[in-house]
Structure 1
Amino acid sequence: MKFASIAVFLFGGLGWAFGQNSGTISGTLKQHSGEALPEATVELVELNKHTLTDQEGKFSFDHLTEGNYHVKIQVIGSDEKIVEVKVKDNEPAVINYQLEKENISVIQEITLSSVTNKFSKKESPYVSKLPLKNMETPQVYISVPKELIQEQIAVNLGSISKNIPGSGIPMLANQGRVTFLSRGFTTEPMVRNGISGFSYTTIDPANLEKIEAIKGPSATLFGSNLSTYGGLFNRVTKKPYNGFGGEVSYTAGSWNYNRFTVDVNTPVNKDKTVLFRLNGAATYQKSFQDLGFSNAISIAPSISYQINDRLSLLFDIEYGHEKGTSVVRFNPFLGSNKVQSIADMKFPYNRLFGSNDIAYETEMMNIFAQMNYKISDHWTSQTVLSRARSTIDGYITAINGVTDTTARLQVMKGNTNFIATNIQQNFIGDFQILGHRNRLVVGLDYYNNANSFDRVTVNGTAFDFTSNAPYAANQSTIDNLAASGTPRIEKNGDNSYAVYASDVFNITDKLLAMVSLRADRYQNLGVTNIAQNINTGDYWQTNFSPKFGLVYEVVKDKVSVFGNYMNGFTNKGGSDFYGNTFKPEQANQKEFGVKGDLFNHKLVGTISYYDIDVKNMVRQDPVNNLFSVQDGGQRSKGVELEFTANPFKGFNVIAGYAYNDSKMTKADDKVNGLRPALSGPSNLYNLWMSYQIMNGELKGLGIGFGGNKGNHSFQTNTTTAKVIIPSYTTLDAAVFYDHKNFRAGIKVNNLTNEQTWSVRLTPQNPTQVLGSIAYKF
């Protein structure tokens, strides 16, 4: 890549005397768009000194003696550039550079910010594992940046996901684990910075730069362990930057909600090649119900080291610890041929049916390390290691219906451990073939799961949930039942060995083609009964996962049309009645749509149509009911629309709509042709609008308003029984003031006190008020 313009200006002027070493070299590095390029490597060759550009793209070398110097600029995907500079005492030498064409760094994440449309931060090095702009990518993805998270005082992943079309009401598991919807499939935030970052516990958003919802089957690049047929959620964490700064904040609200966060960043050495950042949070809250609580703490340090102009390291850790009570998870009694709504069951909205001493404790530790080496002007090596561990101790509860008005508490007591190791090696190229630009990633991927269980499940006595009488389940009662229970003591695991390649070829400047393929060798280690030392269910499978895409930029960098064919898969063990071993389940997506980035980034959005066809699903054998057959299917089709807009100065909008038509196409008689229960509402809407005063004495004062809407969905949907979750409309409002030294805001969630439930029939918060204040330094 060449530079369109290189201007070297030597300015003379008055300055302060620094003896014989008073010379300076400074400058600014910009992208093709004119926006700053932070975190780029700059070297002063003669002195072997390195530095990084700051968030405004600026750099400097001070206290230099007179003489001639060479300044070397290194940007991944661009040719190395060396400029000769003459330094004189008290006469600063200024170097300003602008790249010839857009470049998205694969070493550091470069955030392309827009002064006007603050909610639009699309560019990502993770979606395609290549330096591609949104307009060049034949795949739909939505980003929720920290600016929106801060404005909405979104204190958990469920609050953040309100801004993602089709994500629905999050399903919260009993140990804090959260699950969203994507194109009719349940999807968890299993990916962090483009690699495994799973957690079966609460994930605190304190260290989030943004969340990316990458749509559609994405196993080709991310594997089946991290993605579902609907897509995946990638948590992009805050990285160290070149400068000292940060903030501390305190948030308080309804039901004794208290949250303290800290974000501190500082260079470690004089040359600012070693950078450190620390994010942390402590959150203490009670439930809106009669009982229930959660106390959590998280710490997330990160450090980056630019060793030289070609080699850099990034290392960070996520640690979290939480103690709390399980949320309500209600499984109603299913009578024959019964259609019922949770709103009519007389199940109390504000009761926990447990006690605060029936609590769990979780601990999570995610370690992430990345090494980047610039092999040449056109090739980069990227080595990534992730190690994730989640531990759950204590009591996890559910409520199971016995009759229309009675239920019993089910409690799982004990210990569970989940450990995942992911190692990736990517080689990323950006080069010319016969005058055509070619971007290629070739990767090796190893993934290991190792899980262990030591727990027992017990059932309490039946109680009348329509009665006002207290339900006296406590830790002593459960412990007595567990003492005579049969524990589950076992371990399981699997290995995945994969190689993948993805190539984007510029047929013309406006027409791009993507071809990708993954070869996956999967080893299921089976389940080992530790007490009996017996292992069962181990098997090997091989699978190939393709991906194709076309993009045509109708108007360069402003309007593009795209289409894709993508594949996802799930490994399946076992065999049918005749001894035929099962093959991996397959999901193939066809999609096309339009992307726009118009009016100087004031309107950015995507509209698409998709069709996902799942085949080889394992279902009960209709003839030999003790066995299974592999001929099941599911079809998920739909339309998605999302956009961010800045119609006029200070006014910003983010909105979306998702329609999903999902059906079981070949399945057991009880569900064939019906919408799967966990697919959520077929129509989902999201909207947030805010206005901030940009000038004058009230500069920084703003208001926000928005909401979410979904039609009815199902907890159970069969020909013999249905449990309906009613439609809902929730509205939120905020008032905020953003000053250069502090930020304050008040947010009201669920203004109309709407009663809503997740697909697990967990009651959601009624009207909640949050107030937050932050000091920035």
Structure 2
Amino acid sequence: MHLRLFIVMIFTSIYSFAQTNFGSISGSISSVENEPLELVSISIVELNKNTLTDIKGNFSFSNIVPGNYIVRIQMVGAKEEDIPVLVKENQNTPISYKLTKENIQLLQEVRIIGNNTKITRKESPYVAKLPIKYLENPQVYNVVPKELINQQMAVDLGSVSKNVPGAGIPMVANQGRVTFRSRGFEAEPNARNGVAGAAFSFLDNTNLERIEAIKGPSTTLFGTQVASSYGGFYNRVTKKPYNSVGGEVSYTGGSWDFNRVTFDANTPINSDKTALLRLNGATTFEKSFQDNGFTNSLALAPSFSYQINDKLSLLMDIEFGTAKGTSVVRFNPYTKGNKIQSIANMHFPYRKTFLGDDITYNTQMMNIFGQLNYKISSKWTSQTIFSRARSTINGYITALNGKSDSTLQASVIIGNTNFIATNLQQNFIGDFYIGKFRNRMVVGLDYYNNFNSFDRVTVNAPLVNFINTPSSYRVTRNMLDTLTNTGTPRKEKSSDNTYSAYISDVFDITDRLKVMGSLRVDNFHYNGVYNILTGETSGGLSVSGLQAGPYSQTALSHKSGLIYEVLKDKLTVFGNYLNGFFNISGVDKDGNNFVPQKGNQLEFGTKADLFNHKLVGTISYYDINVDHVLRTDPDDANYSIQDGTQYSRGVEVDITANPVAGLNIVFGYAYNDSKFTKSDASVLNLRPAASGPQNMYNFWVSYTFTEGKFSGLGAGFGGNMGSSSYQTNTQTSKVIIPSYQMFDASIFYDRPKYRLGLKVDNITSEKAWSVRLTPQAPARFLASLSLKF
């Protein structure tokens, strides 16, 4: 009897449960401009259930027991929103939420999707480390978005940089490392997602979402490790996971056996879609247009994000790359004697390397990045960042040194080099009011450790006449290996530590007038150089040419800016005063330690974002002055004194426009006047060599059909032009790099399931050289096919 009753009760319970009619909740989240927002955290408080919005801003919860609940909308940079809902049986409860004030994609990597055919959006969470809009930021920066990268079929960082005013012809180092010009100085892609991410080898584009060129001295917020130039630096924004399944496989083939395969795969990895994984990868092989030379590389870049709960999120990225190749041509002409010469008239062969394909290097790099965001309150967020970068170079690194007007000698470094950098950051980001005045503030602590090791020897190959080169001449591995005993060894290790604290605040005096103030204190400890051969530790070879022991320096860096919105959210005028510094080792002849070198920039201009983002741009004038530059002591050539000065002044124009659907226009202009104003007599009052052309232009115009039977079909045309510049510029010797005009064109057909593209770089096969006198490739043809899923 009891058993029968128990069985009846069990079946009754199962039947009752089966008859329960669940409900559901779904909705969408949009910005103040009605654009969908991706990766916003949505939770049901009572059930502890979480999810994220997808690329269309949508979310949903199913199988919800009927009743009253609170749906919480949570994202960094916005006020927490609780929405009461009533779930009914067999019904869906809709929620539609629109932000009531401007909030841009910030630390949580919430992304505004918008219209993917536009290239005018400039908003960035990284430039100021604060939630401020493009028009609210008094610092100048340029953005090259993925839409433009795709249109131009840009397969490397050098191709991407063509869209940055003043970038010039990229300088490619022997390991594939690339640098650019910026306001008369060298600029490097040393930052990844706003923190240190340098690589002393090649960096593949496979995980590149966009490039941000941040202009002017920027050590106040980023430190010397990232902002390694008074002209600015490049920030690589990487691809992040999104809340759906998707991806792409692409093949690109072209001139000189160019073969490149890339893939991009994304998927949620849990049922709530709060844990997301994305994997990008590429492999590339290309021969040189010259008589010898090649590169062969592999890159993998996984990215993982996890919305742990409605307040805490985790992001982890890894960049791994390995490459084997031959050094690009780097020519250092013979400059002794009073002469003015142009590389175009030296009879240096444009298509000859003088090196065999067995003179190779191997590189390996790995960057690891982790970020935890915790929303402390509606006003404050904690951001904890860990970054570690490692680059290893093995093999042969070459340069061609002129020994006369017609002869050269290959100088070759053989061996191993390692660079390891570790960065820890803790930021607290606030958005709060003091009375009626809005403040957006970041307070941060920063630790950076740098370690380098060298185990290599430099040897010199036999001289050769580069004008009438014997057909049998070629520098080979066997030739070099027999010379290693005669070479100059470098076997050493070095390291340094930097401890920093910084604060930056944007203070709204009115809703149109805003002021920014920033300050950094930086304590640098150089631990010296350990010589493996002698077992001694010293400071290494200082800039003064003397041995200096380990040393410490403390520097203050400041940044201030003013923004006034002439037309609210449309047109602003701005001014900034930026500071940068670099630590300098050594002492003068009286034993006084050198102090950090300083660079200060004064800049003013205007920014515009008009006609509903159809016309966006910046026009500015800057004046950079560098002090505490070392120069040879006129009373004792064995020492240096620290009273040298230099200025760099100029105008920059950066305009992007989308006047009608499908039509995109990019235009840039950079004028730069640089000069040594107090220096060694050999360069006094001259433009620094390697500062790039005085005038540079860039443009790109494209049109894509957005509807009809030709929807997705498009074409683009652009160019880069620069005036003449110098590889060497002294009172007695000048090596001139001629002006250049290089044009590119592309045609593409972009459909939801596939994309076809054709591209021609340097259509006219213009002869051009980088600042290292590396010949640039003639016309290169590329074709690509991408399959999307």
CA distance in 2, matches of 1:28, 1:515: 37
1:688 aligns with 2:672: no
What is the alpha-carbon root mean square deviation over aligned residues? 1.2
Matches within 5 A, 1:192-591: 192-227=192-227, 228-470=229-471, 471-537=473-539, 538-591=550-603
Match of 1:647 in 2: 659
The offset of 1:117, in angstroms, is 6.1
CA distance in 2, matches of 1:114, 1:741: 20
Match of 1:81 in 2: 81
- 1:677-714 CA-to-partner distances (Å, cap 9, x unmatched) read 11000100000000111111111111100100000000
- 1:345-394 CA-to-partner distances (Å, cap 9, x unmatched) read 00000011100100000000000000010001100000000000000000
One of 622, 628, 636 as aligned partner of 1:616: 628
The offset of 1:153, in angstroms, is 0.5
One of 755, 758, 769 as aligned partner of 2:781: 769
CA distance in 2, matches of 1:105, 1:166: 28
Q: 1:609 to 1:114 in 2, by over 3 A?
A: farther
Match of 2:7 in 1: none
CA distance in 2, matches of 1:657, 1:473: 42
1:186 aligns with 2:158: no
Match of 2:33 in 1: 33
The offset of 1:105, in angstroms, is 4.3
The offset of 1:109, in angstroms, is 2.8
The offset of 1:111, in angstroms, is 4.0
**Which stretch of structure 1 is more off in the superposition, 653-662 or 76-85?**
76-85
Matches within 5 A, 1:26-105: 26-105=26-105
The offset of 1:490, in angstroms, is 0.4
CA contact (8 A) 1:117 1:644 kept: no
The offset of 1:536, in angstroms, is 1.3
CA distance in 1, matches of 2:406, 2:158: 31
The offset of 1:314, in angstroms, is 0.4
Residue aligned with 2:155, SS: coil
The offset of 1:533, in angstroms, is 1.5
CA distance in 2, matches of 1:31, 1:64: 27
CA contact (8 A) 1:116 1:649 kept: no
Identity among equivalent pairs (%): 59
Match of 2:747 in 1: 735
**Which stretch of structure 1 is more off in the superposition, 62-71 or 578-587?**
62-71
CA contact (8 A) 1:113 1:121 kept: no
- 1:552-603 CA-to-partner distances (Å, cap 9, x unmatched) read 1111110011100000001001111111110000000000010000011000
- 1:525-548 CA-to-partner distances (Å, cap 9, x unmatched) read 121111212111210000000100
CA distance in 1, matches of 2:86, 2:333: 79
TM-score under structure 1 normalisation? Answer: 0.97
Matches within 5 A, 1:689-704: 689-704=701-716
The offset of 1:468, in angstroms, is 4.7
Q: 1:113 to 1:37 in 2, by over 3 A?
A: closer
CA distance in 2, matches of 1:705, 1:501: 44
Match of 1:638 in 2: 650
Tell me which amino acid in the other structure corresponds to 2:211. I
CA distance in 1, matches of 2:488, 2:173: 24
The offset of 1:319, in angstroms, is 0.2
CA distance in 2, matches of 1:148, 1:266: 25
Tell me which amino acid in the other structure corresponds to 2:368. I
CA contact (8 A) 1:364 1:389 kept: yes
CA distance in 2, matches of 1:677, 1:508: 45
Tell me which amino acid in the other structure corresponds to 2:43. E
The offset of 1:609, in angstroms, is 0.5
- 1:186-226 CA-to-partner distances (Å, cap 9, x unmatched) read 01100001111000000001101100000000000000121
CA contact (8 A) 1:116 1:646 kept: no
CA distance in 2, matches of 1:109, 1:187: 26
The offset of 1:115, in angstroms, is 2.3
CA contact (8 A) 1:358 1:474 kept: yes
Q: 1:665 to 1:19 in 2, by over 3 A?
A: farther
Tell me which amino acid in the other structure corresponds to 2:441. L
Residue aligned with 2:162, SS: helix
CA contact (8 A) 1:443 1:500 kept: yes
CA distance in 2, matches of 1:197, 1:469: 44
The offset of 1:107, in angstroms, is 2.7
CA distance in 1, matches of 2:124, 2:699: 23
CA contact (8 A) 1:111 1:123 kept: no
Q: 1:577 to 1:743 in 2, by over 3 A?
A: same
Tell me which amino acid in the other structure corresponds to 2:600. N
The offset of 1:437, in angstroms, is 0.9
CA contact (8 A) 2:40 2:110 kept: no
Residue aligned with 2:651, SS: strand
Match of 2:5 in 1: none
Match of 1:8 in 2: none
CA distance in 2, matches of 1:77, 1:696: 40
CA contact (8 A) 2:120 2:658 kept: no
- 1:125-147 CA-to-partner distances (Å, cap 9, x unmatched) read 10000000000000001111111
The offset of 1:22, in angstroms, is 3.9
CA distance in 2, matches of 1:698, 1:163: 27
CA distance in 2, matches of 1:570, 1:401: 32
Residue aligned with 1:223, SS: helix
Tell me which amino acid in the other structure corresponds to 1:369. G
CA contact (8 A) 1:113 1:120 kept: no
Match of 1:7 in 2: none
CA distance in 1, matches of 2:226, 2:70: 46
**Which stretch of structure 1 is more off in the superposition, 85-94 or 143-152?**
85-94
CA distance in 2, matches of 1:622, 1:53: 67
Residue aligned with 2:658, SS: strand
- 1:324-343 CA-to-partner distances (Å, cap 9, x unmatched) read 00000000011311100000
Tell me which amino acid in the other structure corresponds to 2:459. V
Match of 2:134 in 1: 134
1:109 aligns with 2:121: no
Tell me which amino acid in the other structure corresponds to 2:20. Q
CA contact (8 A) 2:252 2:785 kept: yes
1:710 aligns with 2:722: yes
The offset of 1:83, in angstroms, is 0.9
CA contact (8 A) 1:114 1:601 kept: no
- 1:24-66 CA-to-partner distances (Å, cap 9, x unmatched) read 1011111112111111110011210111111111111012222
Q: 1:127 to 1:306 in 2, by over 3 A?
A: same
Residue aligned with 1:205, SS: coil
CA distance in 2, matches of 1:290, 1:40: 54
Residue aligned with 1:147, SS: helix
- 1:380-421 CA-to-partner distances (Å, cap 9, x unmatched) read 000000000000000001100111111111110000000000
| Long gaps (5+) in structure 2 | 1-17, 540-549
CA distance in 2, matches of 1:490, 1:240: 41
Aligned length: 761
CA distance in 2, matches of 1:620, 1:577: 11
CA contact (8 A) 1:419 1:450 kept: yes
Tell me which amino acid in the other structure corresponds to 1:674. L
Match of 1:751 in 2: 763
CA distance in 1, matches of 2:433, 2:21: 44
**Which stretch of structure 1 is more off in the superposition, 393-402 or 483-492?**
483-492
